[in-house]
Structure 1
Amino acid sequence: MPEVYVIGHKSPEADSICSAIAYAELKNRTGDETHVAARLGPTPPDVAFVLDRFGVDEPVLVPHVRVRVRDVMTTEPLTAGPNTPLRAIGELMTEHTVRSIPIVDEGRLAGIVSERDLARRYLEELNIQSFLEKPVALGQITDTLEGKIVLGTRETPVAGRVLIGAMRPETIREFVREGDVVLMGDRENAQQLVLEAGICCLIVTGGFEPGSSQVETARAKGASILVTPYDTYAAARLINLSVPASRVMNDQVATAGPEDLLTEVIEDVLASAHREVIVLDESNRPVGIVTRSNLVRPPKRRVILVDHNERAQAADGIEDAQVLEIVDHHRLGDIETAEPILVINRPVGSTATIVASRYDELGVKIPPATAGILMAAILADTVLLKSPTATEADREAVQRLASLCGEDWRRFGEEMFAERARHASYVPSEVLRQDLKTYRLGETKIAVAQVELVNPERLLEMREQLLLEMKKFAHDAEYDTVILMVTDVIREGTQLLVAGKKRLAERAFDAKIDEEGVFLPGVISRKKQVAARLAEAARA
């Protein structure tokens, strides 16, 4: 079955990334299906520091969870080369029950041959196929006629008109020209005449062997001879199918990429003359095919959500995906599922704490590297266990994980936050978007972004630019209020900047909020000390 993505929220940070990695590892060790850790955006520098420290690869980037072409396509499509005889193409279609065969030249798509193309050629061809326009190899004709070569080689080129030698010997010379291909039965006199006329190839039908004198004449004239078991009528019809695929292929082919959205390709499939779309990689090589049958009940992408359970924070297209589990420590949101699922939602400071406990509950030993990234996630989400969201379960988990990975958690946490400060962005748009969460409180839509720094003074000197960006973001994204928490890890407090409608925030924190913002001592948790107060004020 397709893989299951274990995926965090839209603003990747330590808890969402590290929990996704650790939970995917746990699921892979305890089940038969393949689970892949994923992220919805770039890995922040401090998280990259954590992953590098413990030698862990970052999750794959998944921009959305809508159904892609690769989720429904038939992989490893049958292909043929441009020189493949049409009969071989037809046999491939019959053997594998397909309606068309992509034609590739040096691995890259050149065109397509369909059943319709073969049928049209067979029905519309009034004359026996000529090889004047494009020679074919003797071996191709031999394979098509299921014959054997008496004189010549498989590589010998055959170029000329194709004629049936059904005339009387005395009149046949009037029809045959030098370089022609002639089909006839065991009429040795007629065979001798056409060979002496300089034909390029004699096809003897009915399985009859040519006489020695005819073979010698052919050798002297440089002609080829092959014998087919088919009678002359059947051989004449079949020879039309010895031409290469390049002669009849259609080079106007509907194509798509593996990552294209299925919704954007459906129309192409239905509108295509071949009722299918060839899926190409970046090198124009076929990697799959989508037909109408692939469009019947396409499978949904399967996901496990970690560190979030609200649609606004989830991957684009989450409404089209199949959510299998939710592992989170936030309030319950608005994710809906068609059937009951496993939801693990606990009042702790970090999703990583829940993931660590799941290892214990399932009797799985936590590897040192996994213990290291889980420890880092807890420290990041609880601000070195100083946040009021930190629980005894978080503290116990950090102590145990630190012993498993061999790190002093306090020293490591300080290094991690120092790394965050070293890479802190001072571009207002990046500051606002790097860790932003959306909350809907009744009819009010609020964005709360947070930056945690050891020394926030430089950033706070940019209040004017930050507020301008916040106002622009509120207008463009249709937020009623945009809040930026500039959290001082050392002072253990937050400078709160607010753009848009401020009254709700002023009620929540019982303070007048101007352009300078307001400093909130002891406030370092977005979830418990900001979002919770806003929700309470909205209900009042």
Structure 2
Amino acid sequence: MDSRIYIIGHKNPDTDSICSAIAYAYFKRQHSGVDAVPCRLGPVNAETRFVLNHFGLEEPEYIENVYTQIKDINYDRPLSVNGSWPMLAAWQLMQESGMGTVCVVDDSGKFLGLATLGDLAKVYLSQMNSLEKFNIPVNNAASVLSGEVITPGKGQLGGNLIVAAMSLDEVVKRIQPGDTIIVGDRPYIQKAAIEYGAGALIITGGIRPNDDIIELSRRHGVSLILVPCNTFDTVKYISQSIPISYIMKERDIVSFSEDDYIHEVTNTMSQYRYRNFPVVDENGAVIGLISRRHVLDYETKNVILVDHNEFSQTVDGINEANILEIIDHHRLGGVVTDKPILFKNQPVGCTSTIIYGIYEDAGVMPPPEIAGIMCAAIISDTLIFKSPTCTPKDIEAAHSLASIAGIDIKSFAGMMFKEGTSLDGKSPEDIFFTDFKEFHVDDFTIGVGQINVLADPGDIKRDILSYMKGLKEKGNYDVLLLMLTNIIDNGSEILWVSDYRDMLERAFSIDIYGNSFYLPGVVSRKNQVIPPIIRAVKSLKK
């Protein structure tokens, strides 16, 4: 069962999303002793990559979703038997374990098929007159019948199964080359059976054949097996020496891998009447058995969300996950939980500010590298304290963290923004989704991206607008915006694509000409762009 706690920032992660996840995961591991794993929902941007490299930290683990997978739940360890095992040995293993299914594997451990108690009973209760299709190893027969292989012959029992209880003439009339003869202490019939081409003799009653019979069987390549039981019991039990590979089901087997999702597994199971389904690894080796009881009640993945609280921005599969906490500084979105959780939502400029407060409340000093990335996140989210979202608490936290990390805020910010604002080698799609968030207001779908720039990006804006127009139709967006936020000039040029020009003009109290407009002093998506758009959208409904 998966005991990890996944700490996850939003899609299209920015520096705060990544650094908050890393910093809070570190806190949970050190203070609470839990297996907390920071995760990301997309590639890190150039700014964030610079921050992580500067402080010697690795990128968080990438995850696509938090749907529960087979590897996250408990399932049965397999009962595995080699395909050459006699049926009796497989049955005994089932009885000892209390399980009704065995997985049949080859010598390398690769899965071949399944055999159930029902399959074994069907063979055991069937009348067996021929061994032709089974090729039973002589060692299997000796093991099942507690006997001894005197001469191995060709090593296998085959042909028709003949009980030599009749006269000599009748016996030799029935023998075909390769047949298996069950015979008691009747040397003359033993000799005749060998000479007439029998492939194997099973001598019952425990009376050892004479040396002439042994030598004759050796010269003719006949398998000679001595068993202690009588002829009746030998006939009764011989079928139990059939290799399990002949009994197993190998066609139409439905198997799963540990990476398969439980909701998909459940749907597949509903289409079949099988009791157990094998779980195999990438090499085809069986690693477990899963049944309906395993998927009816199971523990879901434990998740903590940081720097967001809206379904549109969070990881796929969140409805199936167990949300433990949310730490955020944005407006309340639509995340719903089935039980009370710890929800820290504060009107500050950065989630890392909140997380540093948690460190302080617990009396935990972050190591320099963790302090450094939290400071970088605050610098990034507040645009070096210029954003209207910035609060005294953000500034105080940033200076404290800078002292722990041993960095100068001004010089570090200059290096970080220089790395983060470079558009070299980036496609319009990469640029647009550098820091993108989707919002839903009533039945409106709004997408707003934001990048920081030190100068006008130039001609690439035409390519970005062309991409946005295609995305609007493809993604069914009502409004798409990209904020080109100039850190030096303290304002944003807005590239826009929408059928609602009037609504945008009303939102920002401006006249819009062309596919862009400039908003002086506007640098915060959260405080200065989204709220007026929401008010303008709602006014359309009145």
TM-score by length of 2: 0.88
User: Does residue 165 of the first structure (1) align with residue 167 of the second (2)?
Assistant: no
Equivalent residues, number: 535
Does the 8 Å contact 2:280/2:286 carry over to 1?
yes
Helix, strand or coil: the match of 1:457? coil
Question: Residue 348 and residue 193 in structure 1: after superposition, are their counterparts in 2 closer, same or farther (change >3 A)?
Answer: same
Does the 8 Å contact 1:114/1:274 carry over to 2?
no
Question: Residue 127 and residue 318 in structure 1: after superposition, are their counterparts in 2 closer, same or farther (change >3 A)?
Answer: same
Aligned twin of 1:324: 324
Aligned twin of 2:386: 386
Helix, strand or coil: the match of 1:490? coil
Does the 8 Å contact 2:421/2:451 carry over to 1?
no
Helix, strand or coil: the match of 1:300? coil
Aligned twin of 1:82: 83
Does the 8 Å contact 1:165/1:182 carry over to 2?
yes
* C-alpha deviation, 1:499, in angstroms: 1.9
Question: Residue 219 and residue 533 in structure 1: after superposition, are their counterparts in 2 closer, same or farther (change >3 A)?
Answer: same
Does the 8 Å contact 1:144/1:238 carry over to 2?
yes
Question: Residue 389 and residue 147 in structure 1: after superposition, are their counterparts in 2 closer, same or farther (change >3 A)?
Answer: farther
* C-alpha deviation, 1:39, in angstroms: 1.7
Q: Return the alpha-carbon distance in structure 2 between the equivalents of residues 18 and 231 of structure 1.
A: 78
Question: What is the correspondence of 1:196-275 to structure 2 with a 5 Å cutoff?
Answer: 197=196, 199-210=198-209, 214-249=213-248, 250-275=250-275
Q: Return the alpha-carbon distance in structure 1 between the equivalents of residues 146 and 43 of structure 2.
A: 60
Does the 8 Å contact 2:144/2:240 carry over to 1?
yes
One-letter amino acid matched to 1:467: L
Question: What is the correspondence of 1:19-418 to structure 2 with a 5 Å cutoff?
Answer: 19-31=20-32, 33-72=34-73, 74=75, 76-105=77-106, 106-123=108-125, 125-130=126-131, 132-133=132-133, 135-152=135-152, 156-168=155-167, 171-187=170-186, 190-195=189-194, 197=196, 199-210=198-209, 214-249=213-248, 250-418=250-418
One-letter amino acid matched to 1:53: H
One-letter amino acid matched to 1:392: P
Does the 8 Å contact 1:269/1:275 carry over to 2?
no
Does the 8 Å contact 1:279/1:290 carry over to 2?
yes
Helix, strand or coil: the match of 2:202? strand
Q: Return the alpha-carbon distance in structure 2 between the equivalents of residues 150 and 31 of structure 1.
A: 67
Match of 2:475 among 453, 477, 489: 477
Q: Return the alpha-carbon distance in structure 2 between the equivalents of residues 17 and 88 of structure 1.
A: 55
* C-alpha deviation, 1:299, in angstroms: 3.2
One-letter amino acid matched to 1:163: I
One-letter amino acid matched to 2:174: F
Q: Return the alpha-carbon distance in structure 2 between the equivalents of residues 453 and 134 of structure 1.
A: 76
Aligned twin of 2:484: 486
**Superposed CA offset, 1:341-394 (max 9, x none):** 111112222112222232333333423332232222222222233322222332
One-letter amino acid matched to 1:504: M
Does the 8 Å contact 1:73/1:289 carry over to 2?
no
Does the 8 Å contact 1:302/1:324 carry over to 2?
yes
Question: Residue 191 and residue 360 in structure 1: after superposition, are their counterparts in 2 closer, same or farther (change >3 A)?
Answer: farther
Q: Return the alpha-carbon distance in structure 2 between the equivalents of residues 421 and 14 of structure 1.
A: 13
Question: Residue 100 and residue 197 in structure 1: after superposition, are their counterparts in 2 closer, same or farther (change >3 A)?
Answer: same
Question: Residue 416 and residue 220 in structure 1: after superposition, are their counterparts in 2 closer, same or farther (change >3 A)?
Answer: same
* C-alpha deviation, 1:538, in angstroms: 5.0
Question: Residue 94 and residue 360 in structure 1: after superposition, are their counterparts in 2 closer, same or farther (change >3 A)?
Answer: farther
User: Does residue 5 of the first structure (1) align with residue 11 of the second (2)?
Assistant: no
* C-alpha deviation, 1:22, in angstroms: 2.2
Does the 8 Å contact 1:45/1:423 carry over to 2?
no
Does the 8 Å contact 1:269/1:276 carry over to 2?
no
Helix, strand or coil: the match of 2:82? coil
Does the 8 Å contact 2:497/2:515 carry over to 1?
no
Question: Residue 40 and residue 234 in structure 1: after superposition, are their counterparts in 2 closer, same or farther (change >3 A)?
Answer: farther
* C-alpha deviation, 1:229, in angstroms: 4.6
Does the 8 Å contact 1:179/1:199 carry over to 2?
yes
Q: Return the alpha-carbon distance in structure 1 between the equivalents of residues 164 and 31 of structure 2.
A: 74
* C-alpha deviation, 1:174, in angstroms: 3.3
**Superposed CA offset, 1:493-520 (max 9, x none):** 2111222113333233221122252222
Point out the more displaced range, 326-335 or 83-92.
83-92
Question: Residue 369 and residue 186 in structure 1: after superposition, are their counterparts in 2 closer, same or farther (change >3 A)?
Answer: farther
Does the 8 Å contact 2:423/2:431 carry over to 1?
no
One-letter amino acid matched to 1:115: L
* C-alpha deviation, 1:99, in angstroms: 3.6
Q: Return the alpha-carbon distance in structure 1 between the equivalents of residues 96 and 409 of structure 2.
A: 64
One-letter amino acid matched to 1:315: V
Helix, strand or coil: the match of 1:58? coil
One-letter amino acid matched to 1:513: I
**Superposed CA offset, 1:74-105 (max 9, x none):** 26533333323333333333333334333333
* C-alpha deviation, 1:410, in angstroms: 2.9
Does the 8 Å contact 1:421/1:455 carry over to 2?
no
Q: Return the alpha-carbon distance in structure 2 between the equivalents of residues 348 and 205 of structure 1.
A: 90
Does the 8 Å contact 2:130/2:158 carry over to 1?
no
Q: Return the alpha-carbon distance in structure 2 between the equivalents of residues 206 and 378 of structure 1.
A: 89
Aligned twin of 2:16: 15
Helix, strand or coil: the match of 1:74? coil
**Superposed CA offset, 1:188-227 (max 9, x none):** 5544554555544333445555555544554454444334
Does the 8 Å contact 2:130/2:159 carry over to 1?
no
Helix, strand or coil: the match of 2:270? helix
* C-alpha deviation, 1:470, in angstroms: 2.6
Question: What is the correspondence of 1:409-448 to structure 2 with a 5 Å cutoff?
Answer: 409-422=409-422, 426-448=426-448
Q: Return the alpha-carbon distance in structure 1 between the equivalents of residues 194 and 475 of structure 2.
A: 83
* C-alpha deviation, 1:443, in angstroms: 4.1
Stretches of structure 1 lacking an aligned partner (at least 5 in a row): none
One-letter amino acid matched to 2:241: S
Aligned twin of 2:497: 499
One-letter amino acid matched to 1:54: F
**Superposed CA offset, 1:301-333 (max 9, x none):** 321111111111111222222211111111222
Question: Residue 170 and residue 445 in structure 1: after superposition, are their counterparts in 2 closer, same or farther (change >3 A)?
Answer: closer
Does the 8 Å contact 2:178/2:199 carry over to 1?
yes
One-letter amino acid matched to 2:374: L
Question: Residue 385 and residue 158 in structure 1: after superposition, are their counterparts in 2 closer, same or farther (change >3 A)?
Answer: farther
Q: Return the alpha-carbon distance in structure 1 between the equivalents of residues 405 and 346 of structure 2.
A: 25
Percent sequence identity is 34
